[in-house]
A and B are shown apart, each in its own frame.
Chain A
Amino acid sequence: MTAVEDAPTTAGIGHRMLRKEDAKLVTGEAKFVDDIKAPGQLWMGMVRSTMAHATIGSIDTSEAEAMPGVHAVYTGEQLAELGLWAAPLPCAWPVTEDMVNPPHNPVAVGEAKHVGDILAVVLAETRYGAADAAEQVIVDYEPLGAVTSIEDAMADDVMAHADLTTNKAFHWPLDPNPEATAAAFENAAHVVKARFIQQRLIPTPMEPRGVLAIPSPAGGEVTLYSATQVPHILKVMIAATTGIPESKIRVIAPAVGGGFGGKLNVDADAILSVTLANHLGRPVRWTETRSEAAGSSHQGRGQIQHMEAAADADGKVTAVKVHLDADMGAYMMLITPGVPLLGSFLYTGVYDIPNLSFSCDGWFTNMTPTDAYRGAGRPEASYAIERVMDMVAGEVGITPEEVRARNYINGGEFFENHEAASTLIFDSGHYRPAHDKALEMADVAGLRAEQARRREAGEKVQLGIGMCTYVEICGLAPSRALGGLNYGAGGWEHATVRMLPTGKVEVVSGSTPHGQGHETAWSQIIATKMGISPDDVTVLHSDTATSPLGLDTYGSRSLAVGGVAIAMAADKVIDKAKQIAAHQFEASADDIVFEEGAFSVAGTPARSVHIQELGFAAFAAHDLPDGMEPNLQEQVNFDPPNFAFPFGTHVAVVEVDEETGNVELIDYTAVDDCGNQVNPLIVEGQVHGGIVQGAAQALYEVAIYDDQGQITNPSLMDYLVPSAAEMPSIQVESTVTPSTSNPLGVKGVGEAGTIGSAAAVINAVCDALSPHGITDMEMPATPWRVRRAIEAAEGGGS
C-alpha cells in the first residue's frame, strides 16, 4: 500500500528521495553494536565512583572474583601495572600552550574525580553477571572536597584535582580590536548587560554507547565495534593511547543510534575493551545503561555567559563584549576545551556589529566531563546574542523584528564574503527573505493581536512570541584554520568513487552516518553527476578496513566537506571515462560531451557510449589510451577553503499559564537557509529534530548536581527528554543562498534547529511575561522558575 499519495520519487540532487537506509531499520534487520555477538565474549562491567571527589583507599575485589561466571576483576592500579595503556585518554584540542590537562586514565588510579569515574573493571560471562559482580566490589573512599558548580570552581577554595593549585584550566581571548570596542561602549546610547546560564545537558542518543572488541590472538589484529560517530579518529587515538600499531586496529561503527556529539569521543570503554580483549584473548563487550550514561558519557553546554552590548540611540549595536566561564568537568576529553571557542566567532550573530571582545576561562569541576553536544558552542553563542538583541529592543523601545532589521549584515540584503568582527569571512548570506517569510508563516501580526486581547482581558494563559535569527559555522573545517586554533588534526574529508566492471558505482566516504541518511544523499550526488540511477550506487562507510581515510561526522560537516569530496571524485571519474570514450570514438577529449550519463562527440549524438558501459572497458583494459591505468577509480581529499555559514529565522509561540507557571510550546516556524539542498526531505527532518532538542534545553532538560556532586536525575524518569505529547507540529520552509565555500554551494543543517530554537523559545517566554517587567528567564523555564519570577515581579518573592 501507499500511505502517502504524494510520496517522494527517486532522483538526484534536489529531490525528496526516500531513504535507502530505512528498510533495514523499520524491519529490525539493522545491527547495532549490542545486536552483534562474538563467540567466547566476556561482558565488561564498570565499578564507578559513587563519590564526586575522593582518595581511593583499598579496593576489595575478592567477593566479586569468587562469583560464578566472573572471569577477572582489575583495579586501575593493576591495569596500570599490566601496561594496558601507554598514555592517558586524549585531549586533541589544547587551546593554549599553558592549558592544564591532568592525566585522565581509563581507570582512575589513586583519586576519583567525579561520580561515575571508573575505579575497577569486572569481566564476566553474562550481561547480568557483570553487573552483579561490579556491585560486589568494595571501595574504601577517603572523601575530598568536591567542586560542584562553576562558581565553586572560580572561588578556588577547593580543588577539583587534589594536586592542582587552581581550578582554572586556561584563559583564551579573542579581542581583535580592544580600543575600538572600548570606544564603542564609551559612545553608546544604550548598554545592555546580561548573565546567562547554559545548563549542563545529557546528549541522550536513543542508543546508549557500547563496544565489542574482538581480538586475534595469533594474528595480533583487533576489531572494535563501537557505537561511535568517529571510527577513524577512534582508530588513531586507540593506537596513540595503547601503543597498538594502528595497522593492527580496525574500527567499525555498525548501525549507530544517534550521536548528537555524545558519541564523538575516545572513552575509557573503547580503550579497555580493546586492551583487555588482547590481554585475555577473548572478545570483550560493554553496553552502557541509561542511568550509567550520566556519569560515563560526556555532557554538553555548562557555561556561564557574561554579555554586554553597546547600542546607539536607534538600536544599532556597535560592540559586544563576552566573557565565558566554562565547566570542563573533571577531565579534558577529546575536544572539551575547544567547545566554548567554537562559539566565540558567532557572538555578533547575523549582525553588522563592528566590534567583538571575547574571552573564555575554562574551569575544572568534580562533575562528568563536558564536550560536544549538538551545536557545540554555537547554540550557546546564538542564544546569548539573540537574547541580548531582544533586550536591546526593549531598551530602545522597538520590536524584536525591528531591532534585527536595523542590524543585519548589509541591511539583510544579499552579500558574499563578509568579514565579521571575529575576523571570520561569512561565505554568503541573505537574511531578510528568511525573516520576512518566517514572520508571515507564523502570522506574527495576528499573534500580536491575540496577545493584546489576552492581556487586555487579563486571561490566565498568556501568549508569547519569540524570534531568533541565527547564523552558524558549518563545514568543519579548513585544516589551516584548525591549526591556527591549536586543534590536533585537520578538517578535510576523503572520498573514493569507483565504477565496478558491471557499471555499478561504489562510493567510499570517510564521513560516518548515525541517522543522517548519507547513503541516500551520496547516491543522489552520484546520480546527478554521473547520470545514473541512485539505485546503482552503494556507499561504503563507517569501517576503517573498507574506508581507511576519514575524519567522520560532527559539526554539520558531512555534506559540505564529505559530500563535496564525493562530487569532486565523481568529476575525476567522469574525466577519465571521457578519455576512454574519446579513444573509442577516435576523437579529441575536448570534443566529447557528457549528458545524462552518455558520452558522444559534439554534434553527433547518435553515436554514444554510456559511462556504465565504460566501467567494463576500463576493467578489461584491452583498449585504453596509451599510458592510462586500468579501472575507473578516483579519490579526493577535500580540504575546504572556508567554513560555511547557514542561517535562518525561527519563530516560537508559547502559552504561559501564569497561575501554574507551565509553559507550552504551541507553534513553531522555521525558515532555514542551508544553501543548496541535496535532499529537502532529509533537511526538514534534521531541522525538526534539532528544533525539539533546542526547545528541550529551553523548557525541560538539565543535568542536576547536588552540592555533593551527585547527579540527581540520571535516568529518563527525571531527565526530561520531551515526547510527542509536549511538542507541536513544526512549520518548516527554506530559502536558498548557495555557499561560496564549495563547488556544490552547500552549507550544512545538522545543528541549525538546535542553534535557533532555544533562544526563540526563551524569547517567547520572556515576551509573554514582559507585562510583569520580566526580561530574562533561566533555562529550563520550568513551572517553578516561571512562577517564582512572576512572584518576584509582583513583590511577593519566594
Chain B
Amino acid sequence: MEVSVTVNDVSRSADVEPRTLLVHYLRDHLDLTGTNVGCDTSSCGACTVHIDGRSAKSCTVLAASAEGADITTIEGLADGDGLHPMQQAFHECHALQCGYCTPGMIMAATSLLEEYPDPTEAQVREGLEGNLCRCTGYHNIVKAVLAVGGAS
C-alpha cells in the first residue's frame, strides 16, 4: 500500500506492506536511518520521533496509521545547518558515548521540554523513563536536558 507522510517538511511516500512499522518505513523505505531500533518491545525508545509535534516510539506505530502525518526525525530537528539546542547541549555536556540511543533520547527530551519548559531533575528523570541508555549512566543526559530547560 502507498503511505504518504510529511517528514522533516518534505512530502514523501512509499509502497509498503500494510504491516510495515513506521520505524522500518522511515529507515528502510525513506532512507532516514538516524532513527534507530534497540528493542522489539517498545521499551528502549531508540526509535523516538515526533508525530504531529508529539514524541512517539516509531516501532509502536504502523506506517499506515501515520498516513498524512507530519513527522520529524533527528535528521530534521535542527533549523538550517546548525545544531538544535538540545543536540548542542548533548555535545557540550558529553551526554552521549556510542550515540545509538542519542537520536531517540534527543527527540524525547525536546518533547519533554514542550511539556515542562523548565523541569526539575526529577521531572527529567521520570520524563525520560522510556528511553534507555547503556553508556552514560544518564548523569550527563539529565544535565544536558536541564541546561536547555534552564536556558529557555
Contacts and interface: CB of A to CB of B under 8 A. Distances in A.
Interface of A: 1-4, 7-8, 18-19, 21-32, 34-35, 127-128, 204-208, 255-258, 260, 289-291, 514-517, 681-682, 684-686, 688-693, 715-717, 721, 723-725, 727, 729-730, 753
14 contacts: A19-B91, A22-B91, A22-B96, A25-B102, A26-B74, A32-B100, A205-B100, A257-B99, A257-B101, A290-B40, A685-B136, A688-B137, A688-B139, A692-B138
Contacts of B103: 26, 28
Given A3-B93, A29-B75, 6 more contacts: A25-B98, A27-B75, A32-B36, A692-B138, A723-B128, A753-B137
B60 interface: no
Interface string B22-51: 001001100011111111110110100000
Contacts of A693: 134, 137
Interface residues of B, number: 65
B3 interface: no
A729 B75 CA distance: 30
Contacts of A258: 97-98, 100, 134-135
Interface string B1-33: 000000000000000010110001001100011
Interface in B86-111: 87-94, 96-103, 106
B117 interface: no
Contact of B134 (A21, A127, A721): A721
A731 to B, nearest CB: 10
Contacts of A8: 92
Given A3-B148, A26-B91, A290-B39, A692 B137 contact: yes
Contacts of B63: none
B121 interface: yes
B69 interface: no
Contacts of A29: 34, 75
B138 A22 contact: no
B115 interface: no
Which 7 A-B pairs rank lowest in CB-CB distance, beginning with the nearest? Answer: A28-B34, A257-B100, A25-B99, A515-B98, A688-B137, A3-B89, A716-B43
Contacts of A517: 97
Contacts of A514: 98
Contacts, number: 201
Contacts of A205: 98, 100, 134
Contact of A26 (B19, B102, B121): B102
A300 B26 CA distance: 34
A3 B96 contact: no
Nearest to A129: B17
A685 B138 contact: no
Given A26-B102, A27-B75, A723-B130, A691 B137 contact: yes
A26 B99 contact: yes
Contacts of A725: 125-126, 128-129
A204 B134 contact: yes
B135 A685 contact: yes
B62 interface: no
A452 B140 CA distance: 33
Given A27-B75, A206-B46, A206-B98, A515 B34 contact: no
A688 B97 CA distance: 11
Interface in B133-152: 133-142, 144, 147-148, 151
Interface string B114-127: 00000001001110
A130 to B, nearest CB: 13
Given A28-B33, A723-B131, A682 B94 contact: yes
Nearest to A725: B129
B136 A689 contact: yes
B78 interface: yes
Contact of A729 (B78, B121, B135): B121
Contact of B96 (A26, A289, A753): A26
A22 B41 contact: no
A290 B39 CA distance: 5
A101 B13 CA distance: 53
Contacts of A19: 91, 94
